[in-house]
């Protein structure tokens, strides 16, 4: 089933590989290379020490060298009295940012990044960095959030992100539009819910609403939609801006690309904001550019991904907001349907749980269920077509990793299927895995479907 809707901001491909140790002999290790080139810091001035270290971090040519520079600093005795934290907030933010940046420059695979992040040296650095979080600037915290999302994706740094959320909450009045967008985007790309922080971001976003650049607005809308967190205060502000200056409506979305328009339309659909003046203006802009979606650039993978988002937004309008009479250009609608069907066909996967549920359903209900049914608005794991009943097996990608709440793409799918007349019974993977033996699982299915078929 298409999962593109929760990945509007590019996420590295999950290519399994291993990170080879670099430098097989002691004299070739990064730490010793740094030690041979860096002169001993002189004088007790911690400000000078901080700046010297920061320059060394920035100039480090790769992630290995950045980490080695930091570890050497951590192990070096400090002049005067011991500091509360071994690295300054600036050094911590710069170090994490540079590691992530150098990884991207080297085109490291996700598995390589995770291997790097699990090293003892990296863990030592993170322990020091967490102590510095409360003293970091707004820009520093936003940079750290971005870096952790790039290095650990949704697999690591759960505890660190909780600490970061607390620190950001205390400093949120200092966050500008870019800081808000980058921080919210980082939490969303890691599938890490932070309700208190996102409530505060929603309020702060209103205060800086006029300063959002196109990419920043796209990112913050996507982040809230991905984690299915309300963003009503910002939408209220966007509506007010539009209503107060109706003559500027046509120019409101002029600086946005087609892919950005699609991402915002999908975000509005997830958050159920289609009846707002701002969304109506957005949809009119989408239609005004209908012919440009047929360009070659928008048929590339990323373009197809965003067309799938636009398809879902259009479907939400049809099924949930028909009274708005917001039509879609026929040529554009045909192209969106083609992209959607292609994406559905490319993402047909059956897990072990899926096959077991399929087998047990036949023996439990005595009915023939269709696996990976594609006759509904979305692909369905298992469907009893004549009764319009479906079972969906929800794996980890349907939930936030730390709170277990449903993510936006799953919430939208459930809503639209219900509007299309389907009754959907979800089976969360956690519940299924806790059941022991066929008899217990068959009883679970029988109870789940009781009275529905």
pLDDT in tens, 221-277: 999 999 999 999 999 999 998 888 777 666 788 889 989 999 999 999 999 999 999
DSSP H or E segment with residue 389:
strand 389-394
Label residue 378 by pLDDT band (50, 70, 90): very high
Q: What is the pLDDT of residue 144?
A: 98
Q: How far apart are the first and last CA of the chain?
A: 24
What are 143-154's pLDDT values in tens digits? 999 999 999 999
What are 400-431's pLDDT values in tens digits? 999 999 999 999 999 999 999 999 999 999 99
112-149 burial string, b = 16+ CB within 10 Å, else e? Answer: bbbbbbeeebbebbbebbbbbbeebebbbbbbbbbbbb
Residue 290 and residue 330 in contact, taking contact as beta carbons nearer than 8 Å: no
Q: What is the pLDDT of residue 451?
A: 82
For 22, 79, 126, 316, the CA distances from 74, given in Å and listed in that order, are 21, 13, 11, 54
What are 309-331's pLDDT values in tens digits? 999 999 999 999 988 888 888 88
What are 62-85's pLDDT values in tens digits? 999 999 999 998 887 654 545 555
296-327 burial string, b = 16+ CB within 10 Å, else e? Answer: eebeeeebbbbbbbbbbbbbbbbbbbeeeebe
What are 28-52's pLDDT values in tens digits? 344 333 333 333 333 345 778 889 9
Residue 263 and residue 214 in contact, taking contact as beta carbons nearer than 8 Å: no
Among 101-105, 225-229, 287-291, 393-397, name the one with the lowest average pLDDT.
287-291
Residue 267 and residue 222 in contact, taking contact as beta carbons nearer than 8 Å: yes
Q: What is the pLDDT of residue 261?
A: 94
DSSP H or E segment with residue 285:
helix 277-288
Q: Tell me the domains of the chain and their CATH numbers.
A: 9-15+43-75+85-227 (no CATH), 231-346 (no CATH), 352-449 (3.40.960.10)
Closest CA to 193 of 223, 234, 220: 223
Q: What is the pLDDT of residue 77?
A: 65
Q: What is the pTM of this model?
A: 0.87
Residue 164 and residue 141 in contact, taking contact as beta carbons nearer than 8 Å: yes
What are 358-371's pLDDT values in tens digits? 999 999 999 989 99
Q: Across the chain, what does the average pLDDT equal?
A: 85
């Amino acid at each position: 089933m298409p999962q593109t809707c929760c990945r509007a901001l590019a996420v590295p491909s999950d290519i399994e590989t291993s990170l080879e140790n670099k430098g097989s002999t002691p004299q070739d290790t990064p730490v010793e290379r740094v030690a041979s080139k860096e002169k001993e810091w002189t004088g007790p001035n911690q400000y000078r020490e901080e700046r010297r270290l920061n320059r060394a971090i920035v100039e480090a040519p790769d992630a290995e060298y950045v980490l080695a520079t930091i570890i050497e600093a951590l192990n070096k005795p400090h002049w005067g009295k011991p500091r509360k934290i071994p690295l300054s907030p600036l050094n911590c933010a710069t170090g994490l940012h540079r590691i992530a940046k150098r990884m991207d420059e080297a085109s490291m695979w996700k598995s390589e990044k995770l291997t790097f992040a699990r090293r003892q040296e990296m863990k030592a650095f993170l322990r020091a960095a967490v102590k510095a979080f409360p003293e970091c600037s707004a820009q520093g915290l936003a940079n750290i959030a971005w870096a952790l999302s790039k290095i650990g994706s949704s697999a690591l740094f759960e505890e660190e992100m909780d600490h970061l959320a607390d620190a950001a909450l205390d400093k949120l009045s200092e966050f500008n539009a870019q800081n808000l967008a980058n921080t919210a985007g980082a939490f969303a790309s890691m599938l890490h819910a932070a309700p208190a922080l996102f409530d505060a971001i929603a309020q702060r976003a209103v205060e800086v609403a006029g300063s959002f650049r196109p990419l920043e607005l796209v990112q913050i809308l996507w982040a809230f939609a991905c984690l299915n967190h309300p963003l009503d205060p910002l939408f209220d502000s966007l509506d007010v801006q539009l209503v107060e200056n109706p003559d500027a409506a046509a120019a409101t979305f002029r600086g946005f690309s087609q892919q950005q328009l699609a991402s915002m339309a999908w975000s509005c659909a997830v958050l159920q904001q289609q009846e707002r003046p701002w969304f109506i203006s957005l949809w009119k802009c989408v239609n005004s550019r209908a012919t440009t979606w047929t360009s070659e650039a928008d048929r590339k993978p990323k373009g197809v991904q965003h067309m799938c988002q636009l398809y879902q937004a259009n479907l939400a309008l049809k099924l949930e907001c028909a009274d708005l009479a917001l039509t879609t250009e026929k040529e554009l609608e045909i192209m969106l349907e083609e992209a959607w069907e292609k994406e559905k066909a490319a993402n047909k996967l059956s897990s072990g749980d899926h096959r077991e549920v399929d087998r047990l359903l036949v023996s439990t209900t005595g009915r023939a269920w269709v696996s990976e049914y594609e006759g509904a608005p979305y692909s369905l794991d298992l469907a009893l077509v004549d009764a319009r009943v479906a079972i969906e097996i929800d794996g980890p990608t349907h939930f936030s990793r730390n709170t277990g709440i449903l993510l936006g793409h799953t919430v939208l799918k459930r809503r639209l299927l219900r509007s299309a007349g389907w009754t959907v019974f979800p089976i969360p993977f956690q519940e299924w895995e806790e059941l022991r033996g066929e008899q217990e699982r068959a009883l679970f299915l029988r109870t789940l479907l009781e009275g529905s078929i």
